[in-house]
Chain A
């Protein structure tokens, strides 16, 4: 696959919309994990998707006789200003602070990997890819992990994307990880959503992780509790 093909067919948008077949997804991921241009496009589409899901404010329109409305509005505002201040109205700054607090709850630690603890098939391409990963060089590990088609490689590739600050790419990669790494992927995705300020998705991810009743349910519950505490 080339960038031209990916762009002409709008694959980044299709990928982010989650409507690719498994084959299309494998092919596109193998390309974009190692391609800066397509990486950037996927990231842009992730942001765009989130932005499009937000309620939009309509731009105010003023009719020709807008000045009459203006005078009436000014009068009403004047009267309103003379009223005692509302007791329970939260200032806008409080909402901003809350978002900042939510974001501060997000934590990311690159998942540990030790070949001594991984029995079985740590050979060839995967072992080679994990050499730079172990020394903390995710940028070097990513292109080596991308062509490997298994859950473990997808998981570490997703973790690498988050490690390099690519939230959208990391989320996109980890959302498709299943099997042994499903729970840890969900936890990383929840934290990435939180870091992006998307509380709704973070909560949803944590709730689905808790529902799995696995090893990560406790951590998920704890983080959800901390989010709840900010309400």
Chain B
């Protein structure tokens, strides 16, 4: 049986990605699919590294926030002050 919650998440992400500016979509593709670092993406697209980094963060946050609305708002960071080596 199809998982309608998963389908809904999928549709939301596809829609958000389609709404992104072309340059943001290319940055995300190069990051997530090609595994490229911001420096390499900046060189390939002729952009400043800082711009690539900011655009990437903005695009990823937009998608994550949109998805989190499905589950009732932004999830909490519940590991904010913990050490990982204990």
A and B held together in a complex: yes
Tell me whether A27 is interfacial, beta carbon within 8 Å. yes
Tell me whether A155 is interfacial, beta carbon within 8 Å. no
- Which listed segment binds B: A47-55, A63-71, A87-95? A47-55
Residues of B contacting A: mostly: helix
Min CB gap A118→B, angstroms? 24
Min CB gap B4→A, angstroms? 10
Set of chain A residues within 8 Å of B81, measured between Cβ atoms:
2
0/1 per residue, A151-190, Cβ < 8 Å to B?
Answer: 0000000000000010100000000000000000000000
Q: Please list the residues of chain A having a beta carbon within 8 angstroms of any beta carbon in chain B.
A: 1-4, 7-8, 10, 12-14, 16-19, 27, 30-31, 34-41, 43-45, 47-54, 56, 99-100, 103-104, 147, 165, 167, 195-197
- Chosen A-B contacts, 30 in total, with CB atoms closer than 8 Å, are A2-B77, A2-B80, A3-B79, A3-B80, A7-B61, A10-B31, A13-B31, A17-B33, A17-B34, A19-B35, A27-B84, A36-B76, A40-B75, A41-B60, A41-B64, A44-B63, A45-B60, A45-B64, A47-B9, A47-B10, A51-B10, A52-B25, A54-B14, A56-B18, A100-B1, A100-B2, A104-B2, A167-B6, A195-B6, A197-B2
Min CB gap B8→A, angstroms? 11
